[in-house]
Amino acid sequence: MQKKVLGTLFILIALIGWGPFRIIQWVQFDRQCEGYLKRAADANTVELAKKQLQVALAYIEKNHLTRGYTSIIYQTPDEDIGFWHANIQASLDELNTISPQASQLEKSNMLLKLRETLIDHSSSGVEVTVPPGISVFPNNIGVAAWSLISLVLAALGVWLFYLGTQEKYRQKRKMWQ
């Protein structure tokens, strides 16, 4: 019985720690940055798009998401935070160059260009362009280690639970013999 309790405890520790942390980090990033990037992409006026980009960039700069990579083992271009930040900043700079007297066609073209910069079209639908793992940056290594430890704890918990179950059946078998 002790093995089953210990196994259950290990599984709970693994799930309760890492899972909620990742969810909270993802929600905070979505609410304070990614959501504003999406709103900028959806904006119908240059002024509205600028306001949304400014909010997102303020969060990016406040949280030092201006350089580095989100990857742990090897670096790929989609994980380059510096490029991502520079691209968003360049988009805002371009929006700031549009004069209020610009034609509607010029403004529409700029908004289309902004949308293409901020949005990716994938097999799962439309997504905001952000480096994978950005919500936990710069703690990606720590979070990866934490997830590995949680995985080992969960596997150990399942194994202990299984052993505890088998022990119970062995005891019943001995009783019937």
The average pLDDT across 118-127 equals 88
- Strand partners of residue 111: none
Cβ-count burial 119-157 (b if 16+ within 10 Å, e if not):
beeeeeeeebbbbebbbbbeebeebeebbeebeebbeeb
Backbone angles phi, psi at 121, to 5 degrees: -105, 120
How many independent structural domains does the chain possess? Answer: 1
pLDDT score of 51 more than 60:
yes
Tell me, yes or no, if the pTM score tops 0.85: no
Identify the DSSP state of 69: B
pLDDT score of 1 more than 60:
no
Domain of 92? 2-176
- The share of the chain scoring above pLDDT 70, in percent, equals 90
Residue 152 binned pLDDT confidence (cut-offs 50, 70, 90): confident
pLDDT digits (tens, 9 = 90+) for 58-103: 999 999 999 999 888 888 999 999 999 999 999 999 999 999 899 9
**Helices 46-62 and 104-118 meet at what angle, rounded to 10?**
30
Residues near 14 by beta carbon (within 8 Å), at least 6 away in sequence:
149, 150, 151, 153, 154, 157
pLDDT top residue among 163 and 113? 113
pLDDT score of 174 more than 70:
no
* Calpha distance 175→170 (Å, rounded): 9
Q: In this structure, are residues 107 and 43 in contact, taking their beta carbons and an 8 Å threshold?
A: no
* Calpha distance 94→107 (Å, rounded): 11
Q: What is the DSSP pairing of strand 125-128 with strand 119-122?
A: antiparallel
Computed over every residue of the chain, the mean pLDDT equals 86
Is the sign of the CA dihedral 109, 115, 121, 126 positive or negative? negative
Supply the pLDDT for residue 30. 95
* Calpha distance 64→84 (Å, rounded): 13
